[in-house]
Amino acid sequence: MQPAFSEHLSHQANDAVRTAATSVGAALPLSSEDQARADLYALAARLLLAPPGAALLAQLGSADPILAEGGDPALERAWQKLVLASSVMDADAVAAEFDALFVSNGTPKLNPYGSLYISGFMNDTPLAELRSDLARFGIKRMRGVGEFEDHLGALCETMRVLIAGGPGIRRQSHHEQQAFFEARIAPWYERCLDDIAEAPEANYYCLVAAFVGALLEIEADAFVVEEGFDD
């Protein structure tokens, strides 16, 4: 049975994020609920993997609201704050903030990698297990990509692909999506996003963390609802 994502996320989410997520390009056609999910994951991945440029900030700054339908309005509030901040932020300032948080000649202040949060070490067993999952789905790390596959942004992009498919990669069932989410994202994303939000350098990115956290919380709740219907 399809999960009741429409109970948590308005169909208007499609329109609200479609322009902002266009550069990442979720596959079409999908159900309106899954299209909204794919678009939101695409945007989350984009913001976590690189600072938004002036064009993306402008698109976000003029985006329509996301209206919650009978569920937790956390995503609606987080989106509203992100849109407002995007409308006034300077791209160079956001880039400098991103570098202060995630980029360093030595060890970056923040390392949003699952292996580090789960085992305490970079490039450890959780990354090897993740790569086994990705190989099963036909997903490979692109040449020239600097981030490892267990980066939270890369995992959001993987969820987008599992939902929407991609060149030579078929869409996965909600059961497969849930299994991947619960194994590779759920155990650690809250701690990671808390670290981002609480970093003294975080200004724009504390709002990004809130947006991503609200999205992932909705996903976790919706998968539980789906599992209940399957029982």
Tell me the per-residue pLDDT of 25-80, one tens digit each, with 9 for 90 and over.
Answer: 444 478 999 999 999 999 999 999 999 999 999 999 999 998 766 556 899 999 99
Position 12 scores a pLDDT of 40
> Closest by alpha carbon to 157, among 30, 31, 56, 23?
23
Going by the DSSP 8-state scheme, the letter that residue 96 receives in this structure is: H
Whether 22 has a pLDDT exceeding 50, the answer reads no
Burial of 189 (0-12, 13-18, 19+ CB in 10 A): buried
Residues 115 and 121: beta-carbon distance below 8 Å = yes
pLDDT of 10 above 80? no
Residue 157 identity (one-letter amino acid): E
- pLDDT per position as a tens digit, 140-159: 887 767 789 999 999 999 99
Triad 29, 215, 57: Cα angle to 5°: 80
Architecture of domain 5-230: Orthogonal Bundle (1.10)
Other Cβ atoms closer than 10 A to 34: 19
pTM, full prediction? 0.86
Where are the chain's structural domains? 5-230
Both structure tokens of 173: 């069932």
Residues 208 and 228 sit within 8 Å (Cβ to Cβ): no
Q: Which two tokens stand for residue 96?
A: 């400098």
